[in-house]
A and B are shown apart, each in its own frame.
Chain A
Amino acid sequence: MGIIGHIGRYFLLLRETFSRPERAGIFWRRTLEEMDLLGVQSLGIVALLSAFMGAVITIQTKTNIDSPLIQAWVVGFATRQSVILEFSPTVISLILAGKVGSNIAAEIGSMRVKEQIDALDIMGVNSAGYLILPKLAATILINPFLVMISMFLGIFGGWLAGVQAGVISSDDFILGIQTGFKPFHVTYALIKTVVFAFIITTISAYQGYFTRGGTREVGISSTRAVVYSNVVILLANLVLTRVLLL
């Protein structure tokens, strides 16, 4: 199948996904389960990465702009901007594409090759809606919280590393993160996060849903889910940045 065929089939799957859930109660219960599986259980890796990346950004910024002409607080400013504008929404989403995307593709792909999706269809259950919509609702609801936690921990990690390593004083760092703060940058980051959550979930679900074959093909679907999600996230990142920031 060519790329146009895949795009067409992707949108047809989305149409199926957004049709009425079988039962609202079951939908919300499944959404909460998925929020735990796909969101809360990703908190550890997000926290770890954010704190360490914030620390590295601070130290690298300091070493690169170590000039008497540049004020010390700029390190805090640059760390904040890097974390809020790019690291937390984009890099964390790329990492979630690896963790969550492969999970979604493998789960749905395994269900496909074991005929469990056929079983749902024959029972009269809308399999796309039953399987994909709760995952989509879960990631769209939980990922912004993950990214906000990432922003906080990234900046906190930068402050801690900067002060501990003696590259910046606590007062200068705090002055830097307060200087020229635009609340819209947080909104921009959260809009990106929601779009990326949609991309990760739907592309991964598409790869899993149309898996044909056996366990090897499930593995291939998982890999494709991660690669295609990452490529589309990078393209969407460029488009959203041009539309929202310029």
Chain B
Amino acid sequence: MIEVQGLSKRFGDNQVLTDISAVFEQGKVNQIIGMSGSGKSVLTKCMVGLHRPEEGRVLYNGRSFHDMNDEEKRQVRQRIGMLFQGSALFDSLTVLENVIFPLRMFGAMPKSEMEDRARECLKLVRIQDKDDLFPSQISGGMQKRVGIARAIAMEPKYLFCDEPNSGLDPQTAILIDDLIKELTEEYNTTTIVVTHDMNSVMETGENIIFIHQGRKWWQGSRQELLNSDNTELNEFIYAGSLMRQVKEAMSRRS
């Protein structure tokens, strides 16, 4: 479980996050939603320690991350898997080497076992026979899946996904959503997905946090999301025609 308490972050005079408190539950797909520029990615980066917040704490199983010493932080980070918006695969390493990388840095297994584990992770994300290709030689969707394989190689306790569906076709986006859901169940991870894709929210979101203008505006389940009367939240979720049609259908049925 990850808990955020009173977290605020600013860059110079620009206050990006203000007094955010939230609980991200283990074994669930927790989603942070909000418009572009609302502070979702900054919140995630504060949670994984890439940014230091001016105020507030991030607790990993009850322990404040920013108060830990370097060794303790390293140990927590080795239990974090992260899928970046742009995949962030290492250009000069092949697909297999990218997945092996965290195992090579921290694992204590022989090379053949590392390769077996990496291939197992690639199989989980449905990538085979691409071991020797470089990231530039595979599609964006495949890059995301290799990114997921790398993120789960160390069997993480915490899985962060920053806009995993951005730039992908609908079918690949659904595949990525399914993978995230499956992996959360299989590894019982605390999964945090940053997204503004409402299809993804309706598909996988179990604990949803809506960030608006750098503040936590709303938190609840998928069902509560559809029934919410929060104006800003409704403006966000019903901005697309598909969601408006869902709402109209629900109104007619009721």
Contact = CB atoms under 8 A, between A and B. Distances in A.
Contacts of B86: 114-115
Contacts, number: 55
Interface residues of A, number: 15
Contact of B84 (A23, A111, A118): A118
Contacts of A121: 49-50, 77
A41 to B, nearest CB: 15
B50 A122 contact: yes
Contact of B50 (A116, A118, A124): A118
B88 A116 contact: yes
Contacts of A114: 86, 88, 91
A177 B113 CA distance: 60
A122 B77 contact: yes
A125 B104 CA distance: 11
Contact of B88 (A22, A26, A115, A124): A115
Contacts of B101: 123
A116 B105 contact: no
Nearest to B104: A26
A123 B105 contact: yes
Nearest to A107: B92
A115 B83 CA distance: 11
A110 B90 CA distance: 11
A122 B154 CA distance: 13
Interface in B43-73: 45, 48-50, 73
B140 interface: no
Which of A111, A114, A115, A119 has the most chain B CB within a 10 Å cutoff? Answer: A119
Interface in A108-167: 110-111, 114-116, 118-119, 121-125
B75 interface: yes
B84 A124 contact: no
Interface in B197-212: none
Nearest to A116: B88
Given A22-B105, A26-B105, A119 B78 contact: no
Interface residues of B, number: 26
Contacts of B106: 22, 123-124
A119 B105 contact: no
A23 B105 contact: yes
B77 A123 contact: yes
Contacts of B74: 124
B48 A122 contact: yes
B86 to A, nearest CB: 6
Contacts of A116: 88-91
A31 B108 CA distance: 22
Interface string A1-39: 000000000000000000000110010000000000000
B69 to A, nearest CB: 13
Contact of B77 (A22, A23, A26, A124): A124
B240 to A, nearest CB: 28
Which of B84, B88, B89, B160 has the most chain A CB within a 10 Å cutoff? Answer: B88
A22 B106 CA distance: 8
Interface string B90-116: 110000000001101110000000000
A115 B105 contact: no
A209 B85 CA distance: 20
A9 to B, nearest CB: 15
A124 B75 contact: yes
A204 B32 CA distance: 38
Contacts of B78: 123-124
B121 to A, nearest CB: 14
Interface in A82-119: 110-111, 114-116, 118-119
B140 to A, nearest CB: 13
B173 interface: no
Nearest to A126: B74
A22 B105 CA distance: 7
Nearest to B79: A124
Given A114-B88, A115-B88, A118-B88, A125 B105 contact: yes
A122 B105 CA distance: 13
A118 B78 CA distance: 13
A26 B104 CA distance: 9
Contact of A122 (B82, B91, B104): B82
Interface of B: 45, 48-50, 73-78, 80, 82, 84-86, 88-91, 101-102, 104-106, 154, 160
List the 8 closest pairs (A to B, CB-CB), nearest first. Answer: A124-B77, A115-B88, A119-B88, A124-B78, A124-B74, A122-B82, A115-B84, A116-B88
Interface of A: 22-23, 26, 110-111, 114-116, 118-119, 121-125
